[in-house]
Amino acid sequence: MTALIRPFITLTTDFGLSDHFVGTMKGVIININPAVKIIDISHQISPQNIEEAAFVLECAYKYFPPYTIHVVVVDPEVGSSRKPLLVVGGRYYFIAPDNGTLSFLFNNEEEQVKVIEINAEHYFLESPGFTFHGRDIFAPVAAWLSKGIDVNNFGVETSNYIRRDLPKPETFGTDLIRGKVIHIDKFGNLISNIKRSHIDELVARTGKGKFEIHIKKTKIEGINQFYAQGERGKPNAVINSNGYIEIYCYMGNAREELKAAKGEDVGVVIKK
């Protein structure tokens, strides 16, 4: 990859906005490279929720200009022996702790990646402790990378890193796909790991175009094109902007209506 004169750095963390953490990271970055542009993806990831961070970043990262540096700090094992990683993808850079946050990249056969264990400590800040690697390691490394430092200067390439098995939908027989709720957004919408492509495959295999979405004891017939098509306050389904089946209540809250939680089973059943 060729460095840009004015690159972008994104931040995804579980730090929230009530403390100094996010602002401090930005200060470190700008102190090293005042020309860089910093963009917040989210700082409201549930505390220590690695899978949520992975989902949010996966939904967002491709919509940034090429060579954007994506920094993820959701780090339950901060200060331990877990490694900091720099991952070079086909169009983007990623900097994150080695805890499986980037498994959506590692498990994608179409995405060729180079993984570097960051160990060049002269790019780190001097630190009085071990509890804020976002400030002391990830932010300065991102900033120096944004100035055009070669990726190989930050450490050594490795094939020893954590991959998480992200939940995938399963097919049962010829007429059922079973997945799970993998994310609940601020509106209470229940986002499953079942994609439009899974439904298309099921319909093509059975030759039948009518189906129901099942969650808990609720059956939802078919899929709407947009939210306002749904009956107000009742559970409905839509294919969201990232291609996943999403269960929602128009002008309501599906999580509260269904008393649902992350991990709930979601089924797509072909109607007889």
At 236 the pLDDT is 95
Mean pLDDT (whole number) for 226-232: 90
Q: What is the pLDDT of residues 94-109, one digit of tens each?
A: 999 999 999 999 887 6
Candidate from 15-19, 31-35, 230-234, 256-260 with smallest mean pLDDT = 230-234
Secondary structure string (H, E, C) spanning the chain: CCCCCCCEEEEEECCCCCCCHHHHHHHHHHHHCCCCEEEEEECCCCCCCHHHHHHHHHHHHHHCCCCCEEEEECCCCCCCCCCEEEEECCCCEEEEECCCCCHHHHCCCCCCCEEEEECCHHHCCCCCCCCCHHHHHHHHHHHHHHCCCCHHHHEEECCCCCCCCCCCCEEECCCEEEEEEEEECCCCCEEEEEEHHHHHHHHHHHCCCCEEEEECCEEEECCECCHHHCCECCEEEEECCCCEEEEEEECCCHHHHHCCCCCCEEEEEECC
Candidate from 127-131, 145-149, 212-216 with smallest mean pLDDT = 127-131
The residue with greater pLDDT, 81 or 33, is 33
pLDDT above 80 (res 206):
no
pTM score of the predicted model: 0.88
Mean residue pLDDT across the chain: 91
Q: What is the pLDDT of residues 1-10, one digit of tens each?
A: 444 455 899 9
Mean pLDDT (whole number) for 60-83: 90
